[in-house]
A and B are shown apart, each in its own frame.
Chain A
Amino acid sequence: MLEVADLEVTYGGLRALQGVSLQVFPGEILAIVGSNGAGKSTLLCAISGIVRPNKGKVVFKGKEITHMPVHMRVDLGIVHVPEGRRVFPEMTVLENLMVAAYNPRARSRWRSSLEFVLELFPVLARKKDQLAKTLSGGEQQMLAIGRGFMQQPELMLIDELSLGLAPLVVRELYTVLKVIKAQGVSMVLVEQNVRKSLLESDRAYVLKGGQVTLCGASRELVEHPSIKKAYFGIG
């Protein structure tokens, strides 16, 4: 469904990604793990188009999109839920959700998407007329995910879903992701929490210093000695 080949991104001389290649298959949850500054977020940004790679290719459903503007990628179904949620603070919950259905494909069925999202997150339904800035961190993350769904995604890129959130909220968010996945949406998860993202995903890539060092089925990677050593502090 998505193919990234030999991707290279530099920020003012600093190489954030180097020769990264990966694939996302339809209907799977893919995890990208790695320490701070490994290039995980940059990778998502290059897929959604927020940053431009200086080398390599991004192909979505057989179509090259390496240099396509962000909003046209959204039209194709690539949806990026950014780190730090980035909800629109001075707009209500409802307005945040509606503006996410801006692309023509999503706009034609915004009512049914909205109903679905408000059912997934009853707390958003209760606070639908409140300004987004008045929500708690967890509620804002729910809004960010809800906004993502309003966009009619085929591929959802989710950056740091659980950062700074209580375990209970994180569990609720992952339950919802499963529901969204069941609608046929593929996902790429970037998580600081390595164990959690390996447990919640089908396959995983390990990034280190902007390069892929390891990839495979998440179930096997949890047991991999170098993962255990680097991220769980055992082995």
Chain B
Amino acid sequence: MKDMLWELMNPLVMGILLGGLYATIALGLSLTFGVAREINLAHGDLVVLGSYFVFWMTSRFGWDPLLCLSFGVPLAFFLGYALQRYLLNYSMRLSEDTVLVVTFGIAVILQNLMQIKWGPLSRNLTQDYLLRTLDLGALYIPLNYLLDFVAAVLVMVALHAFLKKTFTGKAIRASAQDVTAARLMGIDVQGMYSITFGISCALCMIAGTFLGMTFPFTPFTGPTLLIIAFGIVVLGGMGSIAGTLIGGMAFGVVQTLSGYFLGLTAQMLVAFAMVLVVLSLMPRGLFGR
């Protein structure tokens, strides 16, 4: 019995660490939905675009993936900002459905552009040092999983501080709570949406980097990531940062544990079944308001 518990520790810890990566992937989706009620169907593909961007930079300049982020994050922010400002804000004014159609179109375009540029084969951002494992007696922790989790926590703390402490962050939260009142406070709500989408894309860049450091990716990994992110956001409640982290960890743990007990083929099935069960029992998610 004791041995069995020890043996469970490994998938459990791996699931929690993996949950950090999932939460980073889901964070941007949760943010845009929480602030603008905007569902971005290209979210997963933007994450993969981040992976490919870093792949391109590492293979061209021989840089470490983490170093590429210093260019990638501002670039992704401006791309996202422009996308919202010059395209999605207009779509939102037409209807919610328009946003779905437009972002779906962006998803298809991105997938095909990535396939043209980088081909259909799977790539990864693995570095030698990432393959090391921390040996803690009964526990083996791969370094890349640990980095995923640390990055997730850092990103979330930073986002939380931005939303709480800065004038812009407060204005974004105000826009999320009451659009009309926010406008009356002198806040350019559409401008806030643009900044929010920029942040979401910057988060995609970060998520894409850590994804590539952990798993291989292809131009068509995006939709799978989108579905995982939706599951997590539903679990954690839209727009809640802590909820997203816990939702990600719940998803990761259920996945690794069911993989341990039922085999790898069943792990995603069980994780999504959990999302369905939670959603039917608590329609607002575990932490939704």
Contacts and interface: CB of A to CB of B under 8 A. Distances in A.
Interface stretch (B62-70, B85-93, B175-183): B175-183
- Tell me if B's interface is mostly helix, strand, loop or mixed: helix
B94 interface: no
Interface in B168-215: 170-171, 173-174, 177-178, 180-189
A9 interface: no
Interface string A78-100: 01111000111111000100111
B185 A102 contact: yes
B261 interface: no
Nearest to A81: B184
A120 to B, nearest CB: 19
A82 B167 CA distance: 22
Interface stretch (A69-77, A194-202, A203-211): A69-77
A182 interface: no
B184 A75 contact: no
A186 interface: no
Given A74-B186, A99-B174, A50 B181 contact: no
A78 B230 CA distance: 41
Interface residues of A, number: 29
A34 B189 CA distance: 32
A100 B185 contact: yes
Contacts of A75: 186
A88 B181 contact: yes
B174 A91 contact: yes
A80 B171 contact: no
A57 interface: no
A193 interface: no
A50 B189 CA distance: 13
B170 A71 contact: no
Given A91-B170, A95-B170, A98-B170, A86 B181 contact: yes
Given A88-B174, A98-B170, A99-B170, A71 B180 contact: no
Contact of B178 (A74, A88, A98): A88
B180 A99 contact: no
Contacts of A49: 183
A147 B186 contact: no
B167 A102 contact: yes
B230 to A, nearest CB: 23
A75 B185 CA distance: 10
Given A86-B180, A90-B173, A69 B188 contact: yes
A82 B170 contact: no
Contact of B167 (A70, A74, A98): A98
Interface string A201-226: 00000000000000000000000000
Given A91-B173, A99-B167, A71 B181 contact: no
Contacts of A87: 181
A50 B177 contact: no
Nearest to A150: B185
A130 interface: no
A106 B183 CA distance: 15
Nearest to B184: A80
B174 A86 contact: no
A75 B187 CA distance: 10
B188 A71 contact: yes
A82 B171 CA distance: 18
Given A98-B167, A102-B171, A86 B184 contact: yes
Contacts of A89: 177-178
A157 to B, nearest CB: 9
Nearest to A76: B186
A230 B167 CA distance: 47
26 contacts: A49-B183, A50-B183, A50-B184, A70-B183, A71-B183, A74-B186, A82-B181, A86-B180, A86-B184, A88-B178, A88-B181, A89-B177, A90-B173, A90-B177, A90-B289, A91-B177, A98-B167, A99-B170, A99-B185, A99-B187, A102-B170, A102-B171, A103-B186, A106-B186, A107-B167, A151-B185
Given A71-B186, A107-B167, 11 more contacts: A50-B184, A74-B184, A82-B181, A86-B178, A86-B184, A88-B181, A89-B178, A98-B167, A102-B171, A103-B186, A147-B185
